[in-house]
Amino acid sequence: MSLGVLLAVLLLVAAAVAGWFRLDPHPYKSRAREILVAGFRATVQLAVVSVVIAWAVKAVLGLLTFLVVMFTVAVRTAGRRITSNHTWWLTAAPMSAGVIPVVAALLLTGLVPLKGIALIPITGQLIGGALTVTVLAGRRALDELAQRHGEVEAAMALGFPDRDARMEIARPAASDALLPGLDQTRTVGLVTLPGAFVGMLLGGASPVMAGAVQLFVLIALMTVQSVAVAVTLELVARHHLHRPGPGAAPTGPPRKIRPPT
């Protein structure tokens, strides 16, 4: 009972702060409302997952279904954060390119068994990390290209291919998506004690074993996130992932600009 009351109070405080200080991206979009909806959704989803995961960890079919649902929701969430047009589904490429090889390597080496109790939390962390950097890299890259469109045109006028010109502008902004993961890894144990480490300690594991598992998770996350950012950047630079409206990438081949003679 006390936990429920405290959670409700904290959620209302978060929404109140966002509303009072008008932390909204647009006049027609309320972050306070989004916070309340997110908190309610998290409550419902975790309640459902608590029931479903009991089935998923016991059967291979349930495990695979659960992982597919996780990945699908992540793709939908990331895609819609980046663009509102039909290209949102392309966010499946950076996330799968980062997550699938790492999970496959873990299974093939035997470090992680094909069991839900082990595979679901590890894969979930990797998908979550890929989702975060895909959204950040995609949004930052497209924002930068929209604001500095003239510089792209100037680079093309100097003879740069369209893809290279866009890459020069978008790459520095997109690379910032890696900063949260880098900072988390650099400060682990000094500023924060991540969930895997604390969870293993509470479960009775030795500090050395808990530290080894946490180190593995952090390095695997950096691998997944680096690949996801690189693929997202490539999709944006090649006009595959774009936004509608002014500043959006053309649907046809890029316009050629002849260099000055």
Q: For residue range 94-148, list pLDDT tens digits in order.
A: 999 999 999 999 889 887 888 888 888 889 999 999 999 999 999 999 999 999 9
Own/partner pairs for 171-175, CB < 8 Å, 24+ apart? 171/141, 171/233, 172/144, 173/140, 173/141, 173/143, 173/144, 174/136, 174/137, 174/138, 174/140, 174/141, 174/144, 174/229, 174/232, 174/233, 174/236, 175/137, 175/229
Beta strands in the chain (DSSP E): none
Rounded Cα distance, 134 and 225, in Å:
8
Identify the pLDDT of residue 248. 43
> Hey, what's the torsion of the CAs at 12, 8, 49, 129, to 10 degrees?
40
Rounded Cα distance, 82 and 172, in Å:
18
Q: Which residue stretches of 85-115 are H helix?
A: 92-109
| C-alpha angle 234-237-239 in degrees, rounded to nearest 5 | 110
Joined together, the tokens standing for residue 220 give 């695997």
Place of tokens 């000055």: 260
Rounded Cα distance, 167 and 139, in Å:
14
- H or E element: which one contains 143? helix 116-147
Joined together, the tokens standing for residue 44 give 């419902």
Q: Is 140 helix (H, G, I), strand (E, B) or coil?
A: helix
Rounded Cα distance, 63 and 58, in Å:
8
Least confident of 35-44, 126-135, 150-159, 241-250: 241-250
Q: Alpha carbon 206 to chain centroid distance? A: 31
Identify the pLDDT of residue 49. 83
pTM above 0.85, yes or no: no
Share of the chain above pLDDT 90, in %: 63
Identify which of 69, 130, 141 has the alpha carbon closest to the alpha carbon of residue 94.
130
